[in-house]
Amino acid sequence: MKKKLINTGILSLISSAACLSATVVPVDVLVVGGGTGGVTAAMAAAQNGAQTVLIEETPWIGGQFTSQGLPASDEHGYIENTASRSFSFFRTLVRNQFLSAYKRSKSSYSYHKVFDPGNSWVSRLTHTPESARIALVQLLKPVVDTGRLKIVPNTRATTVTKTDDGKRVATVTAETVDESGTTVTTVYAPKYIVEATLLGDFLELAGVPFSVGIESHAQTGEPAAYPGDPDPKGNQCFTFCYIVEYCPNTNNTIAKPPLYDHFKKHYSLNGYPFRHTTPEKMNGFWQYRRCLAAAQFDDPLIKNDLAIINWGSNDYAERDLISATPAEREEIRNEGKQMSLGFLYWLQTECPRDPEDGGGKGYPELKLRTDLLGTSDGLAMEPYIRESRRIKALTTIKQNDITSQPTVRAKLYDDAVATGLYFSIDIHSCVGDAKRPLKPKHPGSKATKPFQIPLGALIPQGGSNVLAGQKNIGVTHLSNGSTRLHPVEWEIGEAAGTVAAMAVKINKTPEEIRADKKLLRELQHTLIRQGQPIFWYIDLPWDDTAFQGAQRLAIDEGWYPSTKHSNFLPNNALAKKDLEKLQKIEGLGDLTTTCSHRYAAIKYMQTKTPEEEIKD
C-alpha cells in the first residue's frame, strides 16, 4: 500500500530516506506518550490481548504523577470509594511503599480512614513522584512480563506516513536516545494509536483535526465561553513543580534568579498562613500539597516535611507553549523555571512569617530538594500541563453537559466509557488574559456534577486510527477544566486502550463499535469487568458484590434508584416503583419489595451467561 509522508515544523523530523531504511516493527497498539492516560491505555490494551508499545519522551512514565512533579493529585471527595480497580491498586501500591518501609505514627490514624503519607488538604493521597513511578512500574509488570507490553523511554515520534486515503496513520518513526547518548530510529506499523503526549503534539504530526486555546461563545454556546473572538494561543498556564524540605534552624536560600524582579508581582500566599491554621483559613500553604508529613510517621528516617510547590504564584502564562517552535519552547520553559525558582526565593526571603514562627519575613528553612525529581536543578522533568490540543471528536463535552443538568448527575451518555468529577471547572490564568479586550467569564464557582466520558469524545472526526488518551479528548477550553485531572485522565486512558484492543481483536473500527449497540455494550461490559465505573454511584466501590450488576442495570436497562442522589443504596429494599421496571427484565420477574438493591444487582448478573468471545 502506498503511504504519504507527513511532517510538521513544530517537531524536529528525520528524512524519508531514514524512515525507509529502518526496520518496520508491526504492533497492534502504539501508545505515543507515557503520561497518566498513556500508562493506563498501554496497560488496558495489553491486558486485553493487544501487542502494545508505549513510547515516552522522558525517562519516567506517569506524566502528572511523576515527570510533571505533581503526585498530590486534584481529586474529589469520593475517590476512595469510586476509583476504578486499577486506580485503587495504584493507590494501594503507593501506600504500601511507605507502610512497609517506615513505622506509622499513632496520630496518623486520626486524620483519614486511609493512610496519606503527606496528609495534605488537596488530596486523599499525597506522596513523592518516585513512589508513583515505582507503583506504576509494579502495576505494569504483569503485562510487561508476558511480552505484550514494551515500554520505550527517552523516545519521541518524529514522522508518520499515512494510507492512500490520508485518513489512517500507516507508520510512525520514533527516535530513542539510549544510555550512551546514541539516537536509535525505529519505525512502527501500528493498527491503532493512542495519543497521550504532553501537549497533543502527535495530533498535529498525524494530521488529526484538533482545537486549541479559548473558543468563543459563538462557537460553543457555553454560558461562560469568551464573549469575543476565539484565541488559539489562550491556553491555561503551566507550572514547573519542585519539592522543598522544611529544615528548622537552617538557611538554604538559593541565589536570586535573574528574572526574579520581573515575576515578583505574582508572588503571594493569597491570604493563607504559611503553615499554621487560623479560624479564617483552616489550612496553611505548607499543607496544601505536602507530599511527606513527618507527623504521619514514628520513624527516625523521616525527620522533616516535604511539600510540592504548585501554587498560583508559579503558574506561567506569559507565552503559549503549544504553538511555539522548538527554540521558542526552550525559551518559554526556561522562563517558567525562572518563575518557579523566583517563587522559592520569595518564600525564603520575603514571604510573611506566621506569628507562631516569630513573624518577620522569609522562610530560609526551605531547602530545594534536587534528588527527588530525576533532574539536576530540582525542577520537574516537564511542566505540569493543564491544557493541550483537543481532538475534534464525534462528541464534544461542553460546559452545560457537566454543570447545568436537571438531575444530580451530569448528562448521561449511552456510549459512556469513563467517569469523572471535580468541585468546579478549574480555569487558571491563561495566556493573553491581560490583553483580551473583553473580560472573560469565570466558571469556577459553578460546581460540576458527577459526569461521564463518552466513547465519542475519544474518537476523532474523519476516520483516523488515532484515539485520544488523556486531556486531548473532545472537550472545550472550559470543560477541560474538569476533565484534565489525574483520576479522569486515568480512566480515559484505560477506556482508550480497551477500545483499541477490541478494535484489533474483532477487526472493527472504534466508530463501528460505537455505532453497533451489541458491540458497544460488549466494550462497556469489558470495562465494568475490569473494575472501571461508567455510571456514577458514590457508595459502590469496584469490589462490592453489587458493582457489576448495578453498573449494567444502569447501562443496559436504564435502571438506577434515583435521579436526586447518586447512591445505589445496596442494602435498601426495592421500592414499588422500581419493581414495575425490574420485573419486566428477563430473570427478575420474581423480585419483591423484600429484596434489596444488592440482591437485584447480583441476580441480574446471574441471569447473564458469560459472554461469548466475539469472533473476527
Which residue positions in the chain have pLDDT lower than 50?
1-20, 612-616
pLDDT in tens, 60-117: 999 999 999 999 988 999 999 999 999 999 999 999 999 999 999 999 988 777 899 9
In the prediction, which pLDDT does 95 show?
98
Q: Are 267 and 259 a contacting pair, CB within 8 Å? A: no
Angle, in degrees to the nearest 10, between helices 85-101 and 36-47: 110
Place of cell 447473564: 608
pLDDT in tens, 265-277: 999 999 999 999 8
**Average per-residue pLDDT in the chain?**
93
Return all residues near 612 (Cβ < 8 A) that are at least 6 apart.
none
Q: What is the pTM of this model?
A: 0.94
In the prediction, which pLDDT does 23 show?
80
Give residue 611's Cα distance to chain centre.
31
Q: Are 85 and 532 a contacting pair, CB within 8 Å? A: yes
Interatomic CA distance for residues 286 and 277, integer angstroms = 10
Return all residues near 297 (Cβ < 8 A) that are at least 6 apart.
98, 102, 103, 104, 105, 108
Q: Is 191 helix (H, G, I), strand (E, B) or coil?
A: strand
Interatomic CA distance for residues 132 and 501, integer angstroms = 26
Q: Is 80 helix (H, G, I), strand (E, B) or coil?
A: helix
Residue 464, number of CB atoms within 10 A of its CB? 25
Q: Are 368 and 252 a contacting pair, CB within 8 Å? A: yes
The beta-strand segments (E) located in 41-182 are 52-55, 149-152, 155-162, 169-177
Q: Could you tell me which of 532, 601, 558, 502 has the C-alpha nearest to residue 191? A: 502
Could you state, in order of their start, the residue ranges of all structural domains in the chain?
238-385, 394-559, 560-616
- Order of all β-strands in the sheet with 238-239: 315-316, 238-239, 384-385
Interatomic CA distance for residues 212 and 220, integer angstroms = 13
Interatomic CA distance for residues 536 and 191, integer angstroms = 32
